Amino acid sequence: MNHETFHLSAAAAEIYETQKVVAIFRPLAQATIERINVDPRDRVIDVACGTGIVSRVLAEKHPSLARIAGIDLNQSMIEKARNLTRPGPTRIEWLQTDVLDMPFEDHSFSLAICQQGLQYFPAKERSLAEIRRVLEPGGRLALTVWSGASPLFLAIAGALETFIGREIAERSLTPFTFNDKDHIESLLSGSGFKAVSVSRITVDRKVGPAGRSIPREIASNPIAAEVEARGPAIMDKIVELVDEGLAEFRDGEGFVVPQESYLFSATN
């Protein structure tokens, strides 16, 4: 299965923060952190941190944490995270680095959180082994992976297939195709993690008016350039069809669409 790797520009990182973080990644981070037991003595690594929403929510809810470090492959994401960080008792360390080669000593952290990142790692077993290396014995891992595409992205994919083609439509769903629960549990166990368990989290994704939100959703997807190359008339048709397809989720001028994620928990 081909999982595209994101290398985002500063403009794309800005869209990610203002669109996806507000709509879904902050609510998911909040729901995840409420589910796991965070201790003030925890030293936390936020793997594939994006613009840092998990670390920022952690610092808001647990301001006396011993340590928080956020890492991401994309320098633009790290720069955005630094710019958004508010001063507080716990300084957040932001590092641009590959999950396969993290610049931390063995057993540096007691808790690792990876929000919607595992599906993008091309070498998943090696990535999990590296996370284990930086976790102390008995340290905990919490990671989320979408359980499938939400009605929003199914509607977008349907419109893309109608006006552009099936291949683009299928590629637009890449973030949601790595969702075999048993396979992910096996990956964790095979990488040496113990006490692997899985639960589900459902959060509401708040989407603004289709004319504004749908082009921005597409702009933060790997197929963005190919869609935009078709011109504004095709984008208008896509927006119109998605707007019709989401009628049951309409809320004022926008939409509220449920989206479900798996939450995997394990110990080192």
Q: What is the largest CA-CA distance in the chain?
A: 56
For the chain, percent of residues with pLDDT exceeding 70 = 96
Q: Name residue 151's amino acid.
A: P
User: In degrees to the nearest 10, what's the CA dihedral of 44, 49, 53, 59?
Assistant: 20
The domain locations on the chain are: 10-148+178-207+259-267
Q: Confidence class of residue 195 from pLDDT cuts 50, 70 and 90?
A: very high
Say how far apart CA 18 and CA 22 lie, in whole Å: 6
97: left (phi over 0), alpha (psi -120 to 50) or beta: beta
Strand extents, DSSP E, the chain: 43-47, 67-72, 92-96, 109-115, 135-146, 194-207, 250-251, 254-267
Q: Confidence class of residue 2 from pLDDT cuts 50, 70 and 90?
A: very low
Is the predicted pLDDT of residue 1 greater than 50, yes or no? Answer: no
Exposure pattern of 43-53 as b/e (b: 16+ CB <10 Å)?
A: bbbbbbbbbbb
CATH architecture for residues 10-148+178-207+259-267:
3-Layer(aba) Sandwich (3.40)
Is the predicted pLDDT of residue 174 greater than 80, yes or no? Answer: yes
Instruction: Tell me the mean pLDDT in the region 189-215.
Output: 95
* pLDDT tens digit sequence for 84-129: 998 888 889 999 999 999 999 999 999 999 999 999 999 999 999 9
**What is the rounded average pLDDT for all residues in the chain?**
93
Token pair, residue 80, equals 């955005």
Is the predicted pLDDT of residue 8 greater than 90, yes or no? Answer: no
Is the predicted pLDDT of residue 4 greater than 60, yes or no? Answer: no
